[in-house]
Chain A
Amino acid sequence: AQSVTQPDIHITVSEGASLELRCNYSYGATPYLFWYVQSPGQGLQLLLKYFSGDTLVQGIKGFEAEFKRSQSSFNLRKPSVHWSDAAEYFCAVGALYNQGGKLIFGQGTELSVKP
């Protein structure tokens, strides 16, 4: 069965420090992978996506993610965190064909930023 696992429920980093959020997926084919961010009280906004090609993808707000097929991972990184990055982050994989394009989400990782 398809699944997405985000091992870290909550992470706290200091402002200016680097960040890596982990995502592992279980999938039976070439995955379409996404990272979304949810600010408090808001909907989800797409940070970046991976469909094919270069395994290092750049997104908005200075985020990047690296697809590693051998590790079934799609970790999100940022070199220097800003206080405004405090939010919940969701990794998702697109379901296989004939399932209406639905997304399968991980449990989410809540990011807190210390001043």
Chain B
Amino acid sequence: NAGVTQTPKFQVLKTGQSMTLQCAQDMNHNSMYWYRQDPGMGLRLIYYSASEGTTDKGEVPNGYNVSRLNKREFSLRLESAAPSQTSVYFCASSERGESLNIQYFGAGTRLSVL
């Protein structure tokens, strides 16, 4: 019962470094999402993929890129990390890109940018 798997769990970067956060789901879901969680701000959507082959910007996309590699995998890339990107990143998936579908979350990636 893996559900949504995120790697790595923790990461420390220096300003300007790049990295890719990986996310995979084994529930045959069509839609996938990337959120960031900051204290006092809840979760904010970075990018989402309503279906394989499509991606769209969310509320806070600047500084990020995404790739929907296949139906299972949705990666988030930081090309040039900045301290403002220090956050906890969550990947989620749902059966379809509709509001009435439940989203299932991974355990998160805790990223620090120094």
With a CB–CB cut-off of 8 A, which chain B residues contact A108?
A: 40, 42
With a CB–CB cut-off of 8 A, which chain B residues contact A100?
A: 31, 33, 48-50, 56, 97
Q: Which of A49, A103, A105, A106 has the most CB of B within 10 A?
A: A103
A56 beta carbon closer than 8 Å to chain B: no
Q: What distance in Å separates the Cβ of B63 from its nearest Cβ neighbour in chain A?
A: 19
C-alpha gap A34/B92 in the complex (Å): 15
- Interface residues of A: mostly helix, strand, loop or mixed? loop
Take A32-B100, A43-B108 as given contacts and tell me if A101 and B31 are in contact as well, using a CB distance cutoff of 8 Å. Answer: yes
C-alpha gap A95/B59 in the complex (Å): 12
B77 beta carbon closer than 8 Å to chain A: no
What total of chain A residues lie within 8 Å of the partner, measured CB to CB? Answer: 29
Question: Which residues of chain A from 67 to 115 have any CB-CB distance to chain B below 8 Å in the complex?
Answer: 90, 92, 94-97, 99-103, 105-108
C-alpha gap A34/B49 in the complex (Å): 21
B61 beta carbon closer than 8 Å to chain A: no
C-alpha gap A9/B50 in the complex (Å): 32
The answer to whether B44 touches A94, judged by C-beta atoms less than 8 angstroms apart, is: no
The answer to whether B99 touches A94, judged by C-beta atoms less than 8 angstroms apart, is: yes
With a CB–CB cut-off of 8 A, which chain B residues contact A97?
A: 98-99
B binding-site residues for A, Cβ under 8 Å = 4, 31, 33, 35, 40-45, 48-50, 56, 58, 90, 92, 94, 96-108
